[in-house]
Structure 1
Amino acid sequence: MEGCVFCEIAAGRTAAHRVLDEPEAVAFLDRRPLIKGHVLLVPREHHETLTDVPPEALGPLFTLAQRLAGAVQRGLGAAGSFVAMNNKVSQSVPHLHVHVVPRDRGDGLRGFFWPRHAYDGDGEAAEYAARIRAAL
């Protein structure tokens, strides 16, 4: 879809720290991570919300979400992960995306009032992306 930043990333026209590149979806680091290593999984085909996705595309998408959750934990040494999506409300980009966030006890995330933790620079973001890619 024209003007959609996630479509542009999926097509390779906008740079992102990719961790997964599959025929049905791509995953990349969130530019405003809740926790460093926060990944967004987006289908290549533009769908605004979960209810817009054709049923036959859901299985492949969530199989990738499952793989990413494991990779984030293994690659970053996290105790667990948080996997979620918003539909319209709190959805900053109107393109379906699944958040996969590494979690550890005492990481500061409480309820839904979460601080953001920026990367120290492009090099650190690239390192996090590489660690998750290697764990896939």
Structure 2
Amino acid sequence: MVTTPPTNDDCVFCAIVADPSSDHVVWDEDGVIAFMDINPVTDGHLLVVPKEHSQGLTDMPAETAARVMQVAQELARALRASDLRCEGVNLFFAEGEAALQEIFHSHLHVLPRYEGDGFGITADWAGSTEEGLAAAATSVRAGLSQR
């Protein structure tokens, strides 16, 4: 079942952008806000959100996507320097329901990681044939030519 992504008026992240007074906000400048995830994978789990509404990575302006990544890098450094348990950092960006996106406002998860934290990604890492890789590369190049 496909759901309709929310408009700006009913977007929970747009509401946070409109009123960033929460003590969960850790960054609020240069068109980007970052705050604690209310359903954290680990303590310190952050969301980096562009203030301008976009649904995913592909419709976010390139300069905004770059700024989101820059802020994520700063936050990763802050997590590593904090007293939170953080032996590593994962970044996770989901676009579309098939990719597990639940809130249809672009956002990048910054996840502090440590051995035994229980977080994992289940996938079939079986690999591909040389022909399969070549066919996929051809398909991606064709997609690039349609930009």
Whether these two folds match at TM > 0.5 is yes
> Which runs of structure 1 show a deviation greater than 6 angstroms over 4 or more consecutive aligned residues?
none
TM-score between both structures, scaled by the size of structure 1: 0.76
Contact kept, 8 Å, 1:5 with 1:14, in 2: the verdict is no
Q: Which has the higher contact order (CA 8 A, sep 6+)?
A: 1
Given the alignment of the two structures, is residue 65 of structure 1 paired with residue 51 of structure 2, yes or no? no
Unaligned stretches of 5+ residues in structure 1: 114-136
- Tell me which of 88, 94, 97 is aligned to 1:80: 88
Q: Specify the alignment match of 2:45 in structure 1.
A: 38
Distance across 2 between alignment mates of 1:67 and 1:95: 21
Contact kept, 8 Å, 2:44 with 2:112, in 1: the verdict is yes
Q: Match for 1:24: what amino acid?
A: G
Question: Which one has a bigger Cα radius of gyration?
Answer: 2
Length, aligned pairs only: 113
Q: What RMSD over aligned residues (CA atoms) do the two structures have, in Å?
A: 1.9
Deviation at 1:58, TM superposition (A): 2.1
Distance across 2 between alignment mates of 1:66 and 1:3: 29
TM-score between both structures, scaled by the size of structure 2: 0.70
Q: Match for 1:33: what amino acid?
A: P
Contact kept, 8 Å, 1:6 with 1:95, in 2: the verdict is yes
Unaligned stretches of 5+ residues in structure 2: 1-7, 124-147
Q: Specify the alignment match of 1:26 in structure 2.
A: 33
